[in-house]
Amino acid sequence: MKHIYVAFLFLFSSLYCFSQKTDSTYLTILSKKSTRLIKLKKLDSAIFYANELLDKSIFIKDTFHQLKSYNKLAKYHRANNEYFKSVNFYNKSKELNLLLGDTIKAINKLRFIESIQKQLGDFNSSENTAIEALQLCDVLDDSITIKQKLSLYNHLGIVTKDQYNFSDAKNWYTNALKLSNDSLKIAAIKNNIALVDIKQEKFSSAINSLDLILKNTRFEKQSKQKARVMDNLAYAKSKLNYYEAEKELKIALEFRKKINDVKGQFASNIHLIQYYINRDQNQKALQYAKDAYEIALLTNSVISKIEVLSYLIRLEDNPKTFAIEYYKLTDSVKIARLQAKNQFAKIKYETDNLREAKIVLEKETAQKDLKLSQEASKRNFLILITSILVIGVVMIIINWRQRIKIASFNATIKTENRISKKVHDEMANDISDIKTLVKNHISSTNPAKKQLINMLNTSYISARDIATETGGIVFGDSFGKTLKNLLMQHNDDNVKIITTINGIDHVTIEEYKKNAIYRALQELMVNMNKHSQATIVTIAYKKDGKHHEIRYTDNGIGTDTVQKNRGLQNAVTRMQDIGGSFNFETSKGNGFKASLKFKA
């Protein structure tokens, strides 16, 4: 019964995970579908799928896709000229950004909102939105928000100027100048300050500023900006009756035509209309008014139409048609601006209520969290004490095992030293004594004497080699040098040894580990001499933090029976005893490769 219950829980959790993954995948499909439809310019369909994405993401509480849907709907409705809906979704996106702690993106959403409010002529709301964005900038580091602040200051300068608050406009532009170190941006801001001077009829100040801007060599490549400054400069000169003003106004207009700056052409035409009206040259003014009207129709700008219609009513002999259109447009703009103010006020009211409800909820949640936190703290304290005790016991066991392991290894070395000493002091010496006895007491005419001496000499050398191979070694600071000497003993006319082993770390590696590494390499070289028939052997060393590796490669005949080699199996055991590894790779006719890995 218990097994059935466990199996049921596992199946249920698997199905739940699968459903979550499926929901997320479906949301991704909806998101991509709306994006694809926008590229195909099917705006209504894109909005439909973005709304579907929003509904589904809210239902399954997928914040990532919810935020994505807000951004899409804000963008799509703006492209569809549904500005109030666009602002509403930008506002929701901003609030969610703040909830997620992404202040930079929240500031960017406010910048979108302020630009729409300005476009709809609600300069006061646009100003308040920009100030809200600046307040968010203040909680972040200046280096992060410098770009946002620069744009916000410039925007505030524009909307306060449009509200005829020239003093504030100049203050905002001055703040923008303090942040900018780019000569082109500085030029654009100074041009805006000059426009404020023109509005205040400070024409000489404006002329001086604009004249300096045109002398900036970098400004030559900024065609639209250059044309704007040229036109503003000529307009300011016209106000002080400079003789060259008319010519320069026309040059600025032709330049704008050349670079296809349509909006700029409208501004130039308006300045020329004003120039000729001020000089009672109404026929010339009328021609430029008609040109300006054509541009207003082309751009479908209501504000531009109203501005130029006011001149056409004044200049035309029979302005009735223009007057009717003018009053219709002005009425529609008044209604639209009133609606905009109401809509923006409604959005702000809803946002404030949402924030207040959120604060109450956060307060209640905070109280519950505090209680849970206090209970959790008690549990965590007990868990911490238990964990410390468990970790302490585990560390003691590990340390105890390590001590036993090192003691065992040292005992092995001690035993090897004792055997080595015994072989050297007793066996080798006994053989040496027998060889001396044979030399002195067997007749030189005896044919077996020479053969016996050779046999005894071979046995003596073997006994001495055994003593050397099993004897303990004290490495000290010369570990790398000792290993290199071991390897280079095998370098002769038949075998070329290439090694970088002398760079091995001798400080952090313990003595018992050095001994094991030495013996493993010794076994490897003995195996090479006996079996490999190699002509080239390379031994390379590398280190990565506490991890060390010695790589051996030869070009010998290889073997398929390496597992039966007792010497190599001894090397494997030695490396495992110090927590390392000895791996090899070989086959008949393909040489021999080995890797010794260990930690310091």
Name the more confident of 182 and 220.
Answer: 182
DSSP 432-444: HHHHHHHHHHS-T
Neighbour count for residue 37 (Cβ, 10 Å)? 19
pLDDT at 427: 58
Backbone angles phi, psi at 546, to 5 degrees: -90, -5
Q: If pLDDT is split at 50, 70 and 90, which confidence band does 60 have?
A: confident
Name the more confident of 88 and 366.
Answer: 88
CB-based contact 590:558 (threshold 8 Å): yes
State the Cα–Cα distance between residues 109 and 94, nearest whole angstrom: 6
Q: If pLDDT is split at 50, 70 and 90, which confidence band does 237 have?
A: very high
User: Where do we find the tokens 């100030």?
Assistant: 131
C-alpha dihedral, 291 to 295 to 297 to 303, nearest 10°:
-110
CB-based contact 513:504 (threshold 8 Å): no
* Per-residue pLDDT tens over the stretch 501-546: 877 766 678 887 888 888 888 888 888 888 888 899 999 888 888 8
pLDDT at 449: 60
Per-residue tokens: 380:
């965590």
* Per-residue pLDDT tens over the stretch 173-219: 899 888 888 888 888 888 999 999 999 999 999 899 999 888 877 76
Q: If pLDDT is split at 50, 70 and 90, which confidence band does 74 have?
A: confident
What is the bridge-based pairing of β-strands 496-499 and 536-544? parallel
pLDDT over threshold 70, residue 474: no
pLDDT at 109: 92
Residue 231: how many CA atoms within 13 Å on its side-chain side?
27
User: 62-66, 289-293, 454-458: which has the minimum mean pLDDT?
Assistant: 454-458
What mean pLDDT comes out for the span 249-260? 92
**Beta strands, E only, 19-79:** none
* Per-residue pLDDT tens over the stretch 301-326: 778 888 888 888 888 888 878 778 87
Q: If pLDDT is split at 50, 70 and 90, which confidence band does 266 have?
A: very high
Helix (H, G, I), strand (E, B) or coil at 407: helix
Name the more confident of 567 and 434.
Answer: 567
Quote the percentage of the chain above a pLDDT of 90: 15
The whole-chain average pLDDT of the chain stands at: 78
Q: If pLDDT is split at 50, 70 and 90, which confidence band does 2 have?
A: very low
pLDDT at 543: 86
Q: If pLDDT is split at 50, 70 and 90, which confidence band does 341 have?
A: low
Beta bridge partners of 205: none
* Per-residue pLDDT tens over the stretch 154-186: 999 998 988 889 899 899 989 988 888 888 888
Beta bridge partners of 541: 550
Cα–Cα distances in angstroms (integers) from residue 363 to residues 98, 355, 470, in the given order: 17, 12, 76
Cα–Cα distances in angstroms (integers) from residue 429 to residues 190, 414, 440, in the given order: 104, 21, 17
CB-based contact 313:330 (threshold 8 Å): no
pLDDT at 12: 43
Backbone angles phi, psi at 446, to 5 degrees: -70, 120
Neighbour count for residue 412 (Cβ, 10 Å)? 15
DSSP-H helix ranges across 278-319? 282-299, 302-315
Residue 203: how many CA atoms within 13 Å on its side-chain side?
12
State the Cα–Cα distance between residues 312 and 322, nearest whole angstrom: 7
* Per-residue pLDDT tens over the stretch 386-422: 877 777 777 777 777 667 766 665 666 566 555 654 5
Whole-model pTM: value is 0.54
User: Where do we find the tokens 């705006």?
Assistant: 43
pLDDT over threshold 50, residue 15: no
State the Cα–Cα distance between residues 365 and 369, nearest whole angstrom: 6
Which DSSP category does 531 fall into? I
Q: If pLDDT is split at 50, 70 and 90, which confidence band does 11 have?
A: very low
pLDDT at 9: 44
Q: If pLDDT is split at 50, 70 and 90, which confidence band does 453 have?
A: low
